Structure 1
Amino acid sequence: MNSLHIGIDTGTHTGIAVWDSRGQCFRAIEDMPIHKAMETVAKYKEIADQEGARLYVRVEDPRQRTWFGTERMSREEERKKLQGVGSVKRDASIWEGFLSDMGVWFEMVAPKRNVTKLTHERFVAITKWKGRTNEHKRDAAMLVFGR
Structure 2
Amino acid sequence: MTGYKIIVLLHVLFATIWVGGHLILSIGFLPRALKQKDPAIIQQFESKYEPIGLPALIIQVLTGLWLGIFYDSQPMGWFTFRGSLAIHLALKVILVVLTLILAIHARFRILPKLKPENLKTLAFHIIAVTLIGVMLLILGVSIRTGGLF
Measured against the shorter chain, the TM-score band is 0.3 to 0.5
Higher alpha-carbon Rg: 2
- Tell me: higher relative CO, structure 1 or 2? Use CA pairs within 8 A at least 6 residues apart: 1
TM-score (norm 2): 0.33
- Where is the strand percentage greater, Structure 1 or Structure 2? 1
- Where is the helix percentage greater, Structure 1 or Structure 2? 2
